[in-house]
Chains A and B, each alone.
Chain A
């Protein structure tokens, strides 16, 4: 079956750096997405990786290793507003998005 694993919850301190990992096992691979979802709201797009390596976008970076079935989202200079759930999703061989359960990130002052 298809599976995406991410930690359920993480805690970090304001101003620090946090790395959220995602491992996947899917039938085919056509890209990996990271989305941010605040409580009670819909997800918003953060990043997209289809080739190995690091994609940097401001305070957020996303890394992909296709051979390892692994990605991480790196958040720098954490702010209180970064408290949210972070969803990893992989597009499989049928171009269908397979979603992880999300990682709830708690930022403490």
Chain B
């Protein structure tokens, strides 16, 4: 089946630093990838849609200058949290629609837990 990987799986950083999270589709090409954020006991919240070769589409309320997305190839999208603050601490998950499966079913990466001190 389709596999999506994320790196790192967890990261702890100091306030004010930047953190880069990688999302890779391992056995298929993904022209589109999705970035989600999930706070404890809450639903998944779509942050942005990453498009290979073009600018990402951000959801309302998500700061594009703070959450930089780069989709440089058909298998890699990166999310950089710039000048991270404690309120950015969350579980970040990427997903990619698969070539097969029902109506662009999404497969999720394992997630990255970010803790900002």
Contacts and interface: CB of A to CB of B under 8 A. Distances in A.
Which of under 10, 10 to 19, 20 to 34, or 35 or more describes the interface residues of B? 20 to 34
A44 interface: yes
Contact of B105 (A33, A42, A99): A33
Say what secondary structure dominates the interface of chain A.
loop
Contacts of B45: 99
Given A42-B93, A91-B103, A101 B43 contact: yes
Contact of A101 (B42, B109, B110): B42
A3 to B, nearest CB: 11
B111 A41 contact: yes
B96 to A, nearest CB: 12
A42 B110 contact: yes
A45 B105 contact: yes
Nearest to B49: A96
A44 B4 CA distance: 11
A30 interface: yes
Given A41-B111, A43-B108, A31 B46 contact: no
Contact of A100 (B41, B43, B93, B108): B43
